[in-house]
Amino acid sequence: MAEATLVKPGSKVKLKDHDPGDTRGVKDKDDALEQLEKCRVQMSELQERLYAENKRALLVVLQAMDTGGKDGTVKSVLSGVNPTGVEIVSFKAPSEEERDHDFLWRVHQKVPRRGNIGIFNRSHYEDVLVARVHEFAPAREIEKRYEVINRFEENLVDTGTTVLKFFLNISKDEQKRRLEERLADEEKIWKFDLGDLREREKWAEYQQSYEIALSRCSTKAAPWYIVPADRKWYRNLVVAKAIVDTLRNMDPRPPRATFDPATIKIT
């Protein structure tokens, strides 16, 4: 069965030990797509129950290197879910107003409301990933942010929001292939950004930055999962399965009727 790798709290992550091309437990793409469709049906049913219950929420955090597949994962995994119960947020560079507040100010405002599934396509982790690589904040400040993030996520869990965090792990060779694919396809070239090449030059720095964030911020309350992401069909299945398993464990219960349905006559 397709599985993500749980980062055990307190462990030290070395990404070289995680194969981005792994497809363990899945025969091939057709097998993955068949399993994915079953997950979509289950997810739709569970999400409807969560929405009806209206007491808790699920926050899914997606982080990856450029071309890692965050958009594709959202599009594929959530294709069968009622959009009224889903909130998708993508965090870009902070605005002037956002820079005038603490780094979590803009994030807390986007946490999903009760009954909903929230998706962070990039997240508050940009403030310890990109900020560390490009030195957008003093090293001392970044060091403090890991614990601030842990407390923030623990508070979310304590107040009814389950947190699932996925690092979509692609190889440098696969990123090269995807960038070249964008350049060669008129329908995809709009996705190509010259800035991606500058970021690619810092591959080693980003890998180290991710290792630190995954190690410091995988907690019992909000653990990180490393997802092999070189094969899009495997990546999608792993994330979908984890969301379904989490919703099933949450076991949302729609409220019971406050009246006797047998007494109602519709004319």
Q: Where are the domains of the chain?
A: 5-251
**How far is CA 138 from each of CA 9, 42, 106, 133, 218, rounded to the nearest angstrom?**
26, 45, 20, 11, 23
Cβ proximity of 49 and 252 under 8 Å = yes
Backbone φ and ψ for 92, nearest 5 degrees, come out as -95, -165
To the nearest 10°, the Cα dihedral for 220, 222, 223, 226? 180
- What CATH number does the domain located at 5-251 have? 3.40.50.300
pLDDT value at position 1?
A: 57
Mean pLDDT of the chain: 94
Q: What is the mean pLDDT of residues 131-153?
A: 95
Examine the pLDDT at 112 and tell me if it is beyond 90: yes
Cα dihedral 198→204→207→209 (10° resolution): -80
pTM > 0.75: yes or no: yes
Phi, psi of 147 (to 5 degrees): -70, -35
Please state, as a whole number, how many other Cβ atoms lie within 10 Å of the Cβ of residue 204. Answer: 10
178 pLDDT band, cuts 50/70/90, is very high
Q: 121 φ, ψ to 5°?
A: -90, 95
Distance CA 69, CA 65 (A): 9
Return the SS3 of 175: helix
